Structure 1
Amino acid sequence: MLALNIASSAAALPGRARSVFRKTAKAAVAACLALAVLQPQAAAAQQTYVVGSDRGGYLHDRLIELKNLKRSGTRVEIRGRVCYSTCTMFLGLPGACVDPNTTFGFHGPSRSGRRLAQEKFDYFSRVMADFYPEPLKVWFMAEGRNRISGIYKIKGSEIIRMGVKACRSA
Structure 2
Amino acid sequence: MTDQSSAPAATGREPRWLDADQQRAWRAFLLGTTLLLDRLDEDLRREHGLSAVEYEILVRLSEAGGTLRMAQLAASLAHSRSRVTHTVKRMEGARLVVREESPADGRGVDCRLTDAGMDLLRTAAPDHVETVRQSLVDLVERDDLMALGRVMDAVCDRLICAHPERELRR
The reply to whether TM is greater than 0.5 is no
More helix by percentage: 2
- Structure 1 length as normaliser, TM-score? 0.26
- Structure 2 length as normaliser, TM-score? 0.26
Higher Cα Rg, which structure: 1
More strand by percentage: 1
